Amino acid sequence: MSFLSHPILSCEEDRAFEATYFGGDEAREWTAMQRAGRAVGAAVQRDFQEIGAFPAAARILVLAGKGHNAGDAFIAAQDLLEKNPQATAEVLFFFGARALRPLAQRAWRALVHAAPNRVRVITALPDDAYTVGLDGVFGFQFRAPAESRVVARFAQINAHPIRFRAAVDLPSADLFQADFTYATGIVKTPVLEAARAGRVRYLDLGFFEGANPLPAVRNRVLIPELLAPLAALRPAISDKRTYGHVGIIGGSRSYPGAVLMTALAALRSGVGLVTAFVPETLAAAFAARVPEVMWVGWPETPGGGLALEGQHLLKARADRLDALVLGPGVGREPETLALLRDIVATSAVPLVIDADALQPEIVAAGNAPRVLTPHAGEWARIAGATLPSATVVRKGPVTRIESGNGNGPSYHSFFGGPVLARGGSGDVLAGLIGGLLAQTPAESELAAARGVLWHGLAADALARSHGQVAVTTTQVLDFLPQVLR
């Protein structure tokens, strides 16, 4: 399946693409540099909101090398100074201003011209703290090893108080410790493995618009435009059945909250109907809490899990379901895991398998299309299993969506961040994907990609509004509408 995404290129593929794209036209390269620098400046100010409002009197440190990365950093600093009239910038040249290449030199002159009284060159770091550090020293042309003086200087910069550290395209020589790395125009594969990249942001500069050919590569980056159909007007002639019916099987007396979060997220997905099968001792309380869901009480094991004897409850409703989510909060009782294996083995609808249901014998059962949503530990548990018709959502700092037993495209999502590093985030994601899957049952990979993207964008919006710390998992749900609108 192919859907809205952009290629992630190796350095060689990037050089070939840019040589064709720019054709040696310096004017076109300058336009692209301006767009890149402005995009970095805007992204820095936007992402800074995760730790508070951008200070009116911000102090900006620009680390400059010789080439395009330096030019991007100069233009980013110019953008920040123009938007914040009390802000100042200090530039630390690693190789001197005379070493700048023509376009970087042009960007340097533009920065000085734009704010001549608020830009100065420094040769050593002062004692004062900086608001933002912009790393534009080395790009992808750098070849290791770095000189000892360069290594020492970066060690000093990393130890200096800087509230927000941003790298252009790649942390210089993987020595600069970035909070965010801004991939301008094209994501290059080395940034995926850079130890000090922090959070990666892809800044789309339009290189892949219109008639420009998209290189055929396996690694791809998801873009927000993938959600555009969800934001469109719905047909006037429609009802709840038009938008699918998702079933959820989960919960136990030990973990009651997980399945509740999954159901809440499914409701926000746009799905028409949600039925949740939960331990019978939980059903009444959940119905009072969330009446929009059809709660079905399931017989319990002595330990409070889902018992085998309840299968008739699902069979009586199975022909009305378009997708099924299994696993949130089920625990690891052998009887419950046997039940889930039986359900997967006989399912006629696509599945989302999450949490403790991610066991080798469960994920390999049956032939129904399935979306698996493991974090790193769960992936280690099932990685050796045969995965029929599976789309795998490998959750992490960069979440990847893969299919075809690892031979198909690998879609990367750079959205979300540490605000999602808390219990329940995966339960919310499973419910969101399940609701989307019920609306497009034949497109498991698309539902997974949209769910991951939507979840991550909502998490970013939450962090910018409330910060990363004093928030709860379910607050992400309140920002799903904002993302679409």
Tens-digit pLDDT profile for residues 119-144:
999 999 999 999 999 999 999 888 88
What is the Cα–Cα distance from 265 to 284, expressed in whole angstroms? Answer: 19
Between the CA of residue 22 and those of 212, 215, 343, 465, what are the distances in Å? 12, 16, 55, 39
Q: 150-204: per-residue pLDDT in tens?
A: 999 999 999 999 999 999 999 999 999 999 999 999 999 999 999 999 999 999 9
* DSSP H or E run through 411: strand 410-413
pTM, full prediction: 0.96
Q: Would the pLDDT of 389 be above 90?
A: no
Across the beta sheet with 323-326, the strand order is: 187-188, 5-9, 219-222, 410-413, 399-403, 390-394, 370-372, 351-353, 323-326, 245-249, 273-279, 294-298
Q: 230-243: per-residue pLDDT in tens?
A: 999 999 999 999 99
Average pLDDT over residues 32-52: 98
Split at pLDDT 50, 70, 90, the class of 404 is: confident
Split at pLDDT 50, 70, 90, the class of 286 is: very high
Task: Report which DSSP code applies to 195.
Answer: T
Residue 241 amino acid letter: R
Backbone torsions φ then ψ of 319, nearest 5 degrees = -70, -5
C-beta neighbour count of 377 within 10 angstroms: 8
Average pLDDT over residues 47-55: 98
The predicted pLDDT at position 388 comes to 77
The per-residue pLDDT of the chain, averaged, comes to 96
Split at pLDDT 50, 70, 90, the class of 265 is: very high
What is the Cα–Cα distance from 329 to 301, expressed in whole angstroms? Answer: 14
Q: To the nearest whole percent, how much of the chain has pLDDT over 70?
A: 99
- 10 Å CB burial of residue 462 (0-12, 13-18, 19+) is buried
Peptide bond just before 145 cis, omega within 30 deg: yes
What are the structural domains of the chain? Answer: 5-217 (3.40.50.10260), 227-484 (3.40.1190.20)
Split at pLDDT 50, 70, 90, the class of 459 is: very high
Structure tokens at 232: 């469109």
